[in-house]
Structure 1
Amino acid sequence: MSFSYRAGSRRDAETVDRLFRTSFMATFAHLYRPEDLDAFLSKFTPQAWEAELADDRFAFQLAEADGEPVGFVKLGPAELPVERNGPAIELRQFYLLHEWRGAGVAHALMKWTMEEARVRGAREVYLTVYTDNHRARRFYERYGFQEVGPYKFMVGEQADEDIIMRAQV
């Protein structure tokens, strides 16, 4: 098995959409009413992904196993409601197909995330994580992320209890 990593481009919009939906649904779908899930997912379309992939304010890194896409990470402008201590960037999405957990792909994507944040001049990286997603929280903590405060993450009309985390770059 060989893994490769590359920058996302506009031509990856459908791939990113598929990876996002598959991973999100496998991890979180059971938490929501169908109408809330539909409302949330309706904001994520191949056209919306394509617009972000073409926007220099965002950076995508895709992971592939033997040429097949298995995950991605997206950085973008820091917009979370926190007081920043300098230039910041936000880890907006980090999705990996479940069958690739533990294969080292997430580590490689996070290494890229922190390096790309530095290249873009950030001193801090922010993200949100679902309070009960203990696996993800432990993963982020290994990279120096610490809890900053609570955050209401809206999925349709349901407000999830998330945590804002920050790491120094």
Structure 2
Amino acid sequence: MITYRDAAPADGAILGGIARATFIETFGNLYSLEDLTAFVNKGSDAAYADELADPDIAVRFAEAGTAQVGFAKIGGLKLPADEHGASADAAELRQLYIYRPWHGVGIADVLTDWAKDAARARGASELWLSVFTDNHRARRFYARHGFAEVAPYEFMVGKQADVDILCRAML
């Protein structure tokens, strides 16, 4: 049985651990060790704890028993979406990460619905995200949840630039 709970500042190590592990699990083979290390080191446990203390950030965990198996994080829009017509009240789905063994059981659907509801409750009229161009599974998932692909976006992992796609869902 999967349960959900809001994260607290004391959850920085949990959030950081999931974020680093799931990024490596999903994308680790795409980067040099130097670039991958530089990227994941930016997401220290202390940095995630600081984010969780920021009232602009909200995180929801998915839990199987007492183990956290995924999360979604929203906040104010930081992506370069202004040039693509982003509204002043736009929010951003900054991360949606789930451990691979838990893919396909509905967790991502629940967390995406939570992200949209939480953004709407904050007064946002739209929710933006970026997704890796070659992550076709995620692109299909977001399309099913009403996210339209808007424009390419350069996402840096260390010194390597990847092409992501900016996506927007109207709330």
Q: How many Å apart are 1:67 and its aligned residue? A: 2.1
2:28 aligned partner = 29
- Give the letter aligned to residue 116 of structure 2: M
- When normalised by structure 2's length, the TM-score is 0.96
Tell me if the contact between 1:13 and 1:49 (Cα under 8 Å) persists in the aligned partners. Answer: yes
Provide structure 2 residue ranges, at least 5 long, that are not aligned to the other structure.
none
1:101 aligned partner = 103
> Following the alignment from structure 2 to structure 1, what is the Cα–Cα distance between the partners of residues 78 and 100?
28
- Residue 88 (structure 1) aligned to one of 87, 90, 110: 90
Equivalent position SS for 2:87: coil
For the aligned residue pairs, the C-alpha RMSD in angstroms reads: 0.8
- Give the letter aligned to residue 78 of structure 2: E
Alignment of 1:145 onto 2:144: no
Provide structure 1 residue ranges, at least 5 long, that are not aligned to the other structure.
none
Deviations 1:122-148 (A, max 9, x none): 001000000000010011001100011
- Residue 136 (structure 1) aligned to one of 135, 138, 141: 138
2:4 aligned partner = 5
> Following the alignment from structure 1 to structure 2, what is the Cα–Cα distance between the partners of residues 67 and 115?
25
Q: How many Å apart are 1:85 and its aligned residue? A: 3.1
Equivalent position SS for 1:38: helix
- Give the letter aligned to residue 164 of structure 1: L
Tell me if the contact between 1:4 and 1:67 (Cα under 8 Å) persists in the aligned partners. Answer: no
1:157 aligned partner = 159
Alignment of 1:44 onto 2:46: no
- Work out the percentage of aligned pairs sharing the same amino acid: 47
- Give the letter aligned to residue 85 of structure 1: S
> Following the alignment from structure 2 to structure 1, what is the Cα–Cα distance between the partners of residues 53 and 15?
13
Q: How many Å apart are 1:86 and its aligned residue? A: 4.3
- When normalised by structure 1's length, the TM-score is 0.97
Equivalent position SS for 1:56: coil
Deviations 1:46-103 (A, max 9, x none): 1000001010000000000122100001001102112313410011111000000111
Equivalent position SS for 2:49: helix
